[in-house]
Protein backbone atom coordinates (compact mmCIF):
# COMPACT_ATOMS: atom_id res chain seq x y z
CA UNK A 1 0.00 0.00 0.00
CA UNK A 2 1.17 3.50 -0.70
CA UNK A 3 1.71 5.55 2.45
CA UNK A 4 1.25 8.77 0.55
CA UNK A 5 -0.45 9.12 -2.78
CA UNK A 6 -0.98 12.27 -4.80
CA UNK A 7 -3.51 12.35 -7.61
CA UNK A 8 -3.41 15.26 -10.01
CA UNK A 9 -2.16 17.86 -7.52
CA UNK A 10 -1.88 21.38 -8.92
CA UNK A 11 -1.02 24.59 -7.16
CA UNK A 12 -0.26 28.13 -8.16
CA UNK A 13 0.33 30.93 -5.70
CA UNK A 14 -0.66 33.89 -7.82
CA UNK A 15 -3.59 33.57 -10.18
CA UNK A 16 -2.40 33.12 -13.77
CA UNK A 17 1.30 33.06 -12.94
CA UNK A 18 3.63 30.12 -13.42
CA UNK A 19 2.20 27.22 -11.42
CA UNK A 20 4.24 25.86 -8.52
CA UNK A 21 2.92 22.36 -9.18
CA UNK A 22 1.36 20.98 -12.34
CA UNK A 23 -0.79 17.84 -12.20
CA UNK A 24 1.42 15.80 -9.86
CA UNK A 25 0.75 12.05 -9.68
CA UNK A 26 2.86 10.19 -7.19
CA UNK A 27 2.79 7.15 -4.92
CA UNK A 28 5.27 6.78 -2.08
CA UNK A 29 5.60 3.12 -1.07
CA UNK A 30 4.99 2.30 2.59
CA UNK A 31 8.20 2.43 4.61
CA UNK A 32 10.21 4.08 1.85
CA UNK A 33 12.72 6.81 2.34
CA UNK A 34 11.64 9.01 -0.55
CA UNK A 35 13.87 11.84 -1.66
CA UNK A 36 12.32 14.75 -3.50
CA UNK A 37 15.12 16.36 -5.47
CA UNK A 38 15.17 19.49 -7.58
CA UNK A 39 16.64 22.95 -7.92
CA UNK A 40 15.25 25.77 -5.83
CA UNK A 41 11.85 26.91 -7.04
CA UNK A 42 10.94 23.56 -8.57
CA UNK A 43 7.98 23.07 -6.23
CA UNK A 44 9.46 20.39 -3.98
CA UNK A 45 8.84 22.25 -0.75
CA UNK A 46 5.33 23.18 -1.89
CA UNK A 47 4.68 19.50 -2.50
CA UNK A 48 5.81 18.67 1.03
CA UNK A 49 3.70 21.44 2.52
CA UNK A 50 0.67 20.17 0.67
CA UNK A 51 1.15 16.72 2.16
CA UNK A 52 1.56 18.38 5.58
CA UNK A 53 -1.61 20.38 5.10
CA UNK A 54 0.09 23.75 5.45
CA UNK A 55 -0.84 24.53 1.86
CA UNK A 56 -4.05 23.69 0.04
CA UNK A 57 -3.80 22.33 -3.50
CA UNK A 58 -5.86 24.06 -6.22
CA UNK A 59 -6.81 20.68 -7.58
CA UNK A 60 -6.19 17.01 -6.92
CA UNK A 61 -6.35 14.54 -4.07
CA UNK A 62 -3.93 13.75 -1.26
CA UNK A 63 -4.15 10.27 0.21
CA UNK A 64 -2.39 9.42 3.44
CA UNK A 65 -2.54 5.76 4.43
CA UNK A 66 -5.26 5.23 1.83
CA UNK A 67 -7.48 7.99 3.20
CA UNK A 68 -8.30 11.19 1.32
CA UNK A 69 -6.72 13.90 3.45
CA UNK A 70 -7.60 17.12 1.59
CA UNK A 71 -10.07 18.22 4.23
CA UNK A 72 -8.22 16.87 7.26
CA UNK A 73 -6.47 19.68 9.19
CA UNK A 74 -2.69 19.31 9.63
CA UNK A 75 -2.86 18.38 13.32
CA UNK A 76 -5.06 15.38 12.56
CA UNK A 77 -3.14 14.15 9.54
CA UNK A 78 -0.74 11.99 11.51
CA UNK A 79 2.25 13.48 9.75
CA UNK A 80 5.18 15.22 11.41
CA UNK A 81 7.44 17.76 9.80
CA UNK A 82 11.02 18.82 10.41
CA UNK A 83 11.58 22.35 9.20
CA UNK A 84 14.66 23.65 7.43
CA UNK A 85 15.37 26.16 10.21
CA UNK A 86 14.14 23.67 12.88
CA UNK A 87 11.41 26.08 14.14
CA UNK A 88 11.95 25.19 17.79
CA UNK A 89 10.01 27.24 20.34
CA UNK A 90 12.68 29.61 21.69
CA UNK A 91 10.89 30.21 25.00
CA UNK A 92 10.46 26.55 25.85
CA UNK A 93 13.02 24.08 27.10
CA UNK A 94 14.07 21.17 24.93
CA UNK A 95 11.88 18.80 26.93
CA UNK A 96 8.78 20.92 26.36
CA UNK A 97 9.66 21.39 22.71
CA UNK A 98 9.60 17.64 22.27
CA UNK A 99 6.66 16.97 24.56
CA UNK A 100 4.23 19.68 23.50
CA UNK A 101 2.75 17.77 20.56
CA UNK A 102 1.83 14.91 22.89
CA UNK A 103 0.56 17.25 25.60
CA UNK A 104 -1.82 18.88 23.15
CA UNK A 105 -3.07 15.46 22.13
CA UNK A 106 -3.95 14.65 25.70
CA UNK A 107 -1.35 11.96 26.33
CA UNK A 108 -0.83 11.29 30.04
CA UNK A 109 2.14 12.89 31.80
CA UNK A 110 3.88 9.61 32.64
CA UNK A 111 3.49 8.32 29.11
CA UNK A 112 4.94 11.58 27.72
CA UNK A 113 7.93 11.42 30.08
CA UNK A 114 8.58 7.85 28.96
CA UNK A 115 8.36 8.63 25.27
CA UNK A 116 10.44 11.80 25.44
CA UNK A 117 13.13 9.94 27.32
CA UNK A 118 13.18 7.13 24.78
CA UNK A 119 13.46 9.51 21.85
CA UNK A 120 16.05 11.68 23.60
CA UNK A 121 18.15 8.57 24.26
CA UNK A 122 17.79 7.44 20.67
CA UNK A 123 19.06 10.81 19.42
CA UNK A 124 21.63 11.18 22.23
CA UNK A 125 20.20 14.47 23.49
CA UNK A 126 19.16 13.19 26.92
CA UNK A 127 21.59 15.58 28.64
CA UNK A 128 20.18 18.61 26.84
CA UNK A 129 16.51 18.38 27.82
CA UNK A 130 16.70 21.20 30.38
CA UNK A 131 18.29 23.71 28.04
CA UNK A 132 16.74 26.32 25.83
CA UNK A 133 17.14 26.00 22.04
CA UNK A 134 19.48 28.96 21.76
CA UNK A 135 21.93 27.23 24.09
CA UNK A 136 22.35 24.41 21.57
CA UNK A 137 24.55 24.04 18.49
CA UNK A 138 22.98 23.74 15.05
CA UNK A 139 23.40 19.97 15.03
CA UNK A 140 21.82 19.65 18.47
CA UNK A 141 18.89 21.86 17.50
CA UNK A 142 18.40 19.69 14.48
CA UNK A 143 18.22 16.60 16.70
CA UNK A 144 15.64 18.28 18.90
CA UNK A 145 13.57 19.11 15.83
CA UNK A 146 13.84 15.46 14.79
CA UNK A 147 12.92 14.30 18.27
CA UNK A 148 9.82 16.48 18.21
CA UNK A 149 8.74 14.68 15.03
CA UNK A 150 9.77 11.18 16.15
CA UNK A 151 8.06 11.31 19.53
CA UNK A 152 4.65 11.49 17.89
CA UNK A 153 5.20 8.28 15.92
CA UNK A 154 3.41 9.59 12.85
CA UNK A 155 2.44 7.70 9.72
CA UNK A 156 4.70 9.87 7.58
CA UNK A 157 7.71 12.05 8.31
CA UNK A 158 8.20 15.18 6.22
CA UNK A 159 11.73 16.56 6.20
CA UNK A 160 12.38 19.88 4.52
CA UNK A 161 16.10 20.18 3.76
CA UNK A 162 16.96 19.24 7.34
CA UNK A 163 20.70 19.15 6.71
CA UNK A 164 21.13 22.34 4.73
CA UNK A 165 21.86 24.52 7.78
CA UNK A 166 24.61 22.25 9.10
CA UNK A 167 28.36 22.44 8.57
CA UNK A 168 29.72 20.10 5.92
CA UNK A 169 31.27 17.70 8.48
CA UNK A 170 28.23 17.47 10.73
CA UNK A 171 26.06 17.11 7.68
CA UNK A 172 27.87 14.04 6.44
CA UNK A 173 27.69 12.32 9.83
CA UNK A 174 24.03 13.23 10.25
CA UNK A 175 23.22 11.98 6.76
CA UNK A 176 24.27 8.43 7.58
CA UNK A 177 22.64 8.60 11.00
CA UNK A 178 19.33 9.74 9.59
CA UNK A 179 19.25 6.92 7.10
CA UNK A 180 19.98 4.34 9.81
CA UNK A 181 17.47 5.91 12.17
CA UNK A 182 14.56 5.86 9.75
CA UNK A 183 15.47 2.41 8.46
CA UNK A 184 15.41 1.23 12.08
CA UNK A 185 11.87 2.43 12.76
CA UNK A 186 10.62 1.46 9.28
CA UNK A 187 9.00 4.84 8.81
CA UNK A 188 7.82 6.41 5.60
CA UNK A 189 9.82 9.55 4.96
CA UNK A 190 9.48 12.34 2.43
CA UNK A 191 12.76 14.11 2.27
CA UNK A 192 13.18 17.34 0.32
CA UNK A 193 16.65 18.33 -0.82
CA UNK A 194 18.41 20.19 -3.58
CA UNK A 195 21.62 18.22 -3.03
CA UNK A 196 21.75 15.38 -5.51
CA UNK A 197 24.48 13.49 -3.61
CA UNK A 198 22.34 13.55 -0.47
CA UNK A 199 19.29 12.41 -2.43
CA UNK A 200 21.15 9.58 -4.18
CA UNK A 201 22.76 8.29 -1.01
CA UNK A 202 19.74 8.41 1.26
CA UNK A 203 16.72 7.57 -0.86
CA UNK A 204 15.12 4.22 -1.56
CA UNK A 205 12.82 6.06 -3.91
CA UNK A 206 13.82 9.21 -5.71
CA UNK A 207 11.59 11.86 -7.24
CA UNK A 208 13.26 14.39 -9.50
CA UNK A 209 11.31 17.62 -9.94
CA UNK A 210 11.75 20.57 -12.24
CA UNK A 211 9.49 23.60 -12.69
CA UNK A 212 6.50 22.10 -10.95
CA UNK A 213 6.51 18.71 -12.67
CA UNK A 214 7.98 15.34 -11.79
CA UNK A 215 10.60 14.50 -14.41
CA UNK A 216 11.22 11.01 -13.12
CA UNK A 217 10.53 8.90 -10.07
CA UNK A 218 11.99 5.54 -9.11
CA UNK A 219 14.98 3.81 -7.64
CA UNK A 220 18.03 6.15 -7.49
CA UNK A 221 20.45 3.86 -9.34
CA UNK A 222 17.86 3.24 -12.01
CA UNK A 223 17.34 6.99 -12.45
CA UNK A 224 21.07 7.47 -12.64
CA UNK A 225 21.56 4.82 -15.32
CA UNK A 226 18.41 5.41 -17.24
CA UNK A 227 17.33 9.06 -17.02
CA UNK A 228 14.01 9.76 -18.71
CA UNK A 229 14.66 13.42 -19.35
CA UNK A 230 17.57 15.64 -20.21
CA UNK A 231 17.01 17.57 -16.97
CA UNK A 232 17.35 14.41 -14.88
CA UNK A 233 20.55 13.41 -16.68
CA UNK A 234 22.06 16.83 -16.09
CA UNK A 235 20.92 17.20 -12.49
CA UNK A 236 21.97 13.78 -11.20
CA UNK A 237 25.55 12.60 -11.06
CA UNK A 238 28.62 13.58 -9.06
CA UNK A 239 30.11 15.26 -12.14
CA UNK A 240 27.96 17.16 -14.57
CA UNK A 241 27.04 15.11 -17.61
CA UNK A 242 28.57 16.11 -20.95
CA UNK A 243 26.07 17.00 -23.60
CA UNK A 244 26.74 17.56 -27.28
CA UNK A 245 24.09 18.97 -29.63
CA UNK A 246 23.80 17.17 -32.93
CA UNK A 247 21.56 15.23 -35.26
CA UNK A 248 20.43 11.60 -35.52
CA UNK A 249 19.84 10.36 -39.05
CA UNK A 250 19.96 6.91 -40.67
CA UNK A 251 21.25 5.36 -37.46
CA UNK A 252 24.11 7.77 -37.20
CA UNK A 253 24.83 10.61 -34.77
CA UNK A 254 26.62 13.65 -36.15
CA UNK A 255 27.63 16.43 -33.79
CA UNK A 256 26.45 19.92 -34.74
CA UNK A 257 30.01 21.25 -34.79
CA UNK A 258 31.02 18.43 -37.21
CA UNK A 259 33.75 17.35 -34.75
CA UNK A 260 32.72 13.71 -34.72
CA UNK A 261 30.03 11.19 -35.52
CA UNK A 262 29.31 7.53 -34.83
CA UNK A 263 26.85 4.78 -35.64
CA UNK A 264 24.09 4.01 -33.17
CA UNK A 265 21.17 1.60 -32.97
CA UNK A 266 18.85 4.64 -32.90
CA UNK A 267 16.30 4.66 -35.73
CA UNK A 268 14.74 8.11 -35.27
CA UNK A 269 15.64 11.17 -37.29
CA UNK A 270 15.79 14.23 -35.10
CA UNK A 271 17.77 17.11 -33.67
CA UNK A 272 19.14 15.66 -30.45
CA UNK A 273 21.41 16.14 -27.52
CA UNK A 274 23.92 13.35 -27.03
CA UNK A 275 24.89 12.98 -23.39
CA UNK A 276 27.55 10.93 -21.71
CA UNK A 277 28.71 10.72 -18.13
CA UNK A 278 32.32 11.72 -17.37
CA UNK A 279 32.86 8.36 -15.65
CA UNK A 280 32.13 6.59 -18.96
CA UNK A 281 35.00 8.32 -20.74
CA UNK A 282 38.28 6.41 -20.79
CA UNK A 283 41.31 8.69 -21.07
CA UNK A 284 44.30 7.76 -23.24
CA UNK A 285 42.68 4.76 -24.82
CA UNK A 286 41.24 3.83 -28.19
CA UNK A 287 37.98 1.98 -27.64
CA UNK A 288 34.97 2.10 -29.89
CA UNK A 289 34.76 5.85 -30.40
CA UNK A 290 38.05 7.68 -30.04
CA UNK A 291 38.45 11.45 -29.88
CA UNK A 292 41.29 13.78 -29.12
CA UNK A 293 41.64 17.40 -28.16
CA UNK A 294 43.46 20.02 -26.18
CA UNK A 295 43.51 19.93 -22.37
CA UNK A 296 41.99 23.28 -21.33
CA UNK A 297 41.49 22.87 -17.59
CA UNK A 298 42.78 20.65 -14.79
CA UNK A 299 40.93 20.52 -11.48
CA UNK A 300 42.81 18.38 -8.90
CA UNK A 301 40.52 16.40 -6.61
CA UNK A 302 43.03 14.49 -4.52
CA UNK A 303 43.15 10.92 -5.78
CA UNK A 304 42.24 11.98 -9.33
CA UNK A 305 42.09 15.07 -11.46
CA UNK A 306 39.08 16.36 -13.34
CA UNK A 307 40.37 17.10 -16.84
CA UNK A 308 38.54 19.20 -19.42
CA UNK A 309 39.43 18.40 -23.03
CA UNK A 310 38.09 20.57 -25.81
CA UNK A 311 36.88 18.79 -28.93
CA UNK A 312 35.06 21.02 -31.43
CA UNK A 313 32.72 23.24 -29.45
CA UNK A 314 32.42 20.88 -26.47
CA UNK A 315 34.50 20.56 -23.34
CA UNK A 316 34.66 16.90 -22.27
CA UNK A 317 35.30 16.33 -18.59
CA UNK A 318 36.80 13.10 -17.30
CA UNK A 319 38.60 11.77 -14.25
CA UNK A 320 42.19 10.84 -14.77
CA UNK A 321 44.83 9.77 -12.24
CA UNK A 322 47.73 11.18 -14.26
CA UNK A 323 48.01 14.93 -14.26
CA UNK A 324 48.54 16.22 -17.81
CA UNK A 325 49.79 19.71 -18.70
CA UNK A 326 47.37 22.36 -19.91
CA UNK A 327 47.58 22.67 -23.69
CA UNK A 328 48.61 19.04 -24.16
CA UNK A 329 46.78 17.08 -26.85
CA UNK A 330 45.06 14.12 -25.22
CA UNK A 331 43.07 11.25 -26.59
CA UNK A 332 40.10 9.48 -24.97
CA UNK A 333 37.33 7.15 -25.97
CA UNK A 334 33.92 5.85 -25.01
CA UNK A 335 31.48 3.15 -25.96
CA UNK A 336 28.39 4.06 -27.97
CA UNK A 337 26.30 1.96 -25.58
CA UNK A 338 26.93 4.57 -22.88
CA UNK A 339 25.68 7.45 -25.01
CA UNK A 340 22.21 8.77 -24.10
CA UNK A 341 20.07 10.70 -26.57
CA UNK A 342 17.51 13.36 -25.72
CA UNK A 343 15.15 15.13 -28.04
CA UNK A 344 16.50 18.64 -28.53
CA UNK A 345 13.05 20.24 -28.20
CA UNK A 346 11.15 18.27 -25.57
CA UNK A 347 14.19 17.07 -23.62
CA UNK A 348 12.67 13.58 -23.51
CA UNK A 349 14.91 10.53 -23.71
CA UNK A 350 15.08 8.73 -27.06
CA UNK A 351 15.62 4.98 -26.97
CA UNK A 352 16.56 2.53 -29.74
CA UNK A 353 13.08 1.00 -29.69
CA UNK A 354 11.18 4.13 -30.76
Residue 148 found at the interface with other proteins (CB under 8 A): yes
Shortest distance (Å) from residue 55 CB to other proteins = 10
For residue 57, give every residue at least 6 positions away whose Cβ sits within 8 Å of its Cβ, in sequence order, or none: 9, 10, 11, 21, 50, 70
Residue 267 found at the interface with other proteins (CB under 8 A): no
* Cβ pair 29, 22 in contact under 8 A: no
Q: Among 36-44, 101-109, 252-260, 309-317, which window interacts with other proteins (CB under 8 A)?
A: 101-109
Task: Give 7 or 92: the residue with its C-beta nearer to other proteins.
Answer: 92
* Beta pairing class for 282-283 and 349-350: unpaired
| Backbone φ, ψ for residue 228 (5° rounding) | -90, -15
Smallest CA-to-CA distance from 227 within 351, 75, 86, 80 is with: 351
Shortest distance (Å) from residue 202 CB to other proteins = 22
Shortest distance (Å) from residue 53 CB to other proteins = 8
Distance CA 153, CA 93 (A): 21
Residue 111 found at the interface with other proteins (CB under 8 A): no
Give the interface size with other proteins as a residue count (CB under 8 A).
Answer: 21
| Backbone φ, ψ for residue 225 (5° rounding) | -75, -30
Residue 91 found at the interface with other proteins (CB under 8 A): yes
**Please, what's the largest Cα pairwise distance for the chain?**
75
Shortest distance (Å) from residue 22 CB to other proteins = 24
Residue 12 CA from chain centroid, whole number? 22
Task: Give 158 or 228: the residue with its C-beta nearer to other proteins.
Answer: 158
Q: How would you classify residue 87: left for phi > 0, otherwise alpha for psi between -120 and 50, otherwise beta?
A: left
* Beta pairing class for 21-29 and 2-11: antiparallel
> Of residues 33-62, which lie at the interface with other proteins (CB under 8 A)?
52-54
Shortest distance (Å) from residue 342 CB to other proteins = 38
Question: Which DSSP symbol is given to 338?
Answer: G
Distance CA 87, CA 145 (A): 7
Residue 132 found at the interface with other proteins (CB under 8 A): no
Residue 115 found at the interface with other proteins (CB under 8 A): no
Q: Site for other proteins (CB under 8 A): which residue of 75, 183, 225, 240?
A: 75
Residue 138 found at the interface with other proteins (CB under 8 A): no
Q: Site for other proteins (CB under 8 A): which residue of 18, 89, 222, 292?
A: 89
Residue 101 found at the interface with other proteins (CB under 8 A): yes
Q: Among 97-105, 179-187, 223-231, 267-275, which window interacts with other proteins (CB under 8 A)?
A: 97-105
Q: 3-state DSSP call for residue 199?
A: helix
Q: Which positions touch other proteins (CB under 8 A)? A: 52-54, 74-75, 79-81, 83-85, 87-91, 100-101, 104-105, 148
Amino acid sequence: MAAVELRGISKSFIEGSFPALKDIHLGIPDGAFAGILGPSGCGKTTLLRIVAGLERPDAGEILIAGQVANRIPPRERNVAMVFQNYALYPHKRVYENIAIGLQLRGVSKERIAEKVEAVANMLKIETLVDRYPKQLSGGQQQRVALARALVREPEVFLLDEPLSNLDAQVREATRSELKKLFRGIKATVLYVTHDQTEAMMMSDYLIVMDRGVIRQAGEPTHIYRDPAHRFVAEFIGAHRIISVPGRLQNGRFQSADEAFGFDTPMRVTSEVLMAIRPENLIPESQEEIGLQGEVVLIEPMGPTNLISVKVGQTEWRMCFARRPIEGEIMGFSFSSSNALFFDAKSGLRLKPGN
